[in-house]
Amino acid sequence: MPYLFLAPAMALFTLFMALPIGYTIYLSLRRTRVSGLGLGKGARTEVFAGLANYAAAVGDGELWAGWLRVLGYGALVLALMLGLALVFALMLDTAHVRLARLTRISIFLPYAVPGVAATLMWGFLYLPSLSPLGEHSFLSADLVTFSMANVAVWGGTGFNMLVLYTNLRAVPREYYEAARIDGASELGIALRIKIPILVPSITLTTVFSVIATVQVFTEPTTLRPLTNTISSTWSPLMKVYRDAFVTGDLYSAAATSIVIAGISLVLSFGFLRVVKNHAFGES
């Protein structure tokens, strides 16, 4: 009976996750061999390439330049988005907050806006010819990373705030009442009770945010037609898209995507390992 209940989920996972991943790995081990001038039937054949595509991906300077840009972008996004989410959750969970429901919906609402629509909206605000913010170009080479980070922070803060706030609401109110009787202020309750309780939720939202940041694609791709400061390989996933659908090299794109997935796993599990070791070290 348990396997019967699991069957639909297992079938969907196999069809839409396992098989595409397996096919991507298969493509990453292939390459096109061109005979002669590459014209006529049989001039282009698919052959086994071994790890050659992976070696080319790892040695590609454009890929690592994209990683450096994404790391800088990710540092901004993670610090601002999770920091604001924590502050908003703590403020909404205070005893004397007013209009809590309206404020909570207002903070969460940007998350409901599709990423492309949100990026276009901000993109038009960034253009000097259309923006009410002044004549300064927010898409210049010096500011474009901050402008993209702003879009991600605006859209993602509300979701993370809701996750943290929901966990706070599950904490028995007696903990806070006991702390107030002992003379603790609201700031003291937040620092000594609420934030330690939220550590697992903060860890979870951080891991999800790291994965989403590494896979950044919507913001730079949508803003790229509005400025010449964003290249077609600004982020690793943009390079995969270019290789697969612009230059037509599916095999190289498949290998690069596997490399990106591996780095994402290393970053995520590395963060979890650091948090786990820190927690056990303190305990």
Which pLDDT tens digit goes with each residue over 145-183?
999 999 999 999 999 999 999 999 888 888 888 888 888
CATH for the 61-282 domain, from 3.30.1490.20, 1.10.10.10, 1.10.3720.10, 3.40.50.300: 1.10.3720.10
Q: Report the C-alpha gap between 103 and 105 in whole angstroms.
A: 5
Are residues 21 and 13 in contact, defined by beta-carbon separation less than 8 angstroms? Answer: no
Six token digits for residue 138: 């927010």
The pTM assigned to this predicted structure is 0.86
Domain coordinates in residue numbering, the chain: 1-50, 61-282
Q: Residue-wise pLDDT tens for the chain (283 aa)?
A: 889 999 999 999 999 999 999 999 999 999 887 766 556 666 677 788 889 999 999 999 999 999 999 999 999 999 999 999 999 999 998 877 778 888 889 999 999 999 999 999 999 899 888 778 777 789 999 999 999 999 999 999 999 999 999 999 888 888 888 888 888 888 888 888 999 999 989 998 998 999 899 899 999 999 999 999 999 999 999 999 999 999 989 999 999 999 999 998 888 888 888 877 766 555 5
Distances, alpha carbon 279 to alpha carbons 29, 51, 129, 199, 282, in Å: 41, 39, 51, 10, 5
- Running DSSP on this structure, what letter comes out for residue 191? I
